[in-house]
Amino acid sequence: MALQKTSRRDFIRNASIGIGALAMGPALAQLALAKPGKKLGIALVGLGSYAGGQLAPALQKTQNCYLAGIVTGTPAKAIDWAKKYNIPEKNIYNYQNFDEIAKNPDIDIVYVVLPVSLHKEYTIRAAQAGKHVICEKPMALNARDCEAMIAACKKANRLLSIGYRLHFEPHTIEIMRLGQKEIFGKVKSIETGNGFTYNGDPNAWRLKKALAGGGGLMDMGIYAIQGSRYTLGQEPIAVKATQEKNRPDFFKEVDETVFWELQFPGGQKVTGKSSYNHDWGYLKAEAERGKFQLEPAYGYGGIDGFTSNGPLQFPQIVQQAAQMDDFATCVNQNKQSRVPGEEGLKDMKVVDAIYRSLDSGNWEKIS
């Protein structure tokens, strides 16, 4: 059957396929469940551009969850958000009284949308407050912090999911199926890149190593790393990386453009790149009997692609709404997310190895 004729039934059946679903860790033990079918309350922690421009609007379209609360250090934002989204005063917190959220039954899930350096702290605090957690990507500053976050959520018997919205996006799900199920035969090579030209505030947290952990690699490269992993359904075992800086005065503390080659157990040639100084966003795979690709591959909307059989014709969706609805279902049904904390940990192991390779100039093992 030509891929452009994929039926709704086929899509729904294939929607569960992905690296998160195929490489899941053991189910978490005995979670205290919300009432089956209950519409769960989400509190957004950090009201920056992603929370305001993507997550809050998406929560107006969700079926299984809703915007119940906010956490912000800016009183003016609290007033504006409360008015715009009808958030009661008792569900508004700041960073000093955050732990009081434990007493609030309106809030079932905390979504951490803070600078990367704060992901670990607020994920752990949210879990200790008895809340399930979604943490934005990249998951943490390094793999070691990811492990601490996973352990804390398990100790508290809370579910942890990472904000990998593309695992719920129809075109991406099809790419996972094509690669992992070897629809065109074994994948021989993958080329992928993600980046944009950063001309924003030179003092923004994303350009501070202590807050962001890195530059284009952490922010944009995480998508390209994910793309390689979920297309193959395998974990890379080694990496070699190089970098360039055309604007060193602007990117003083963080990487600008990074290139890497990943070594996978199957022997595929996999190259990737990330940047804060180039506009990239593609994933191209060549297999034994055909090709398939996405371009744009990683954006919030407008995902497009084709295969040797023709164009991919899937609907554009509100990715964040699908992601949050799925996690609410997981909480209600006491089942692991397809994008659990372990998924974020795997990406950060690759990122850590890339940074080691940039320092050493050598191939570095991913472990």
112 and 136 Cβ atoms separated by less than 8 Å: yes
In angstroms, the CA 316 to CA 334 distance is 29
Assigned token pair, 364: 């570095």
Residue from 120, 131, 137, 240 carrying the catalytic annotation:
137
Identity of residue 303:
I
Catalytic residue check, 186: no
- Gap between the Cα atoms of 166 and 341, Å rounded: 16
Q: Which strands form 92-93's sheet, in the order they lie side by side? A: 92-93, 65-71, 40-45, 109-112, 132-135, 160-162
- What stretches of the chain adopt beta strand conformation (E)? 40-45, 65-71, 92-93, 109-112, 132-135, 160-162, 187-197, 238-244, 257-263, 269-275, 277-287, 290-294, 305-307, 310-311, 364-365
Contacts of 84 (CB under 8 A, 6+ apart): none
Reply yes or no on whether 276 is catalytic: no
Q: Which of 93, 223, 230, 298 is catalytic?
A: 223
List, by residue number, the catalytic residues. 137, 223
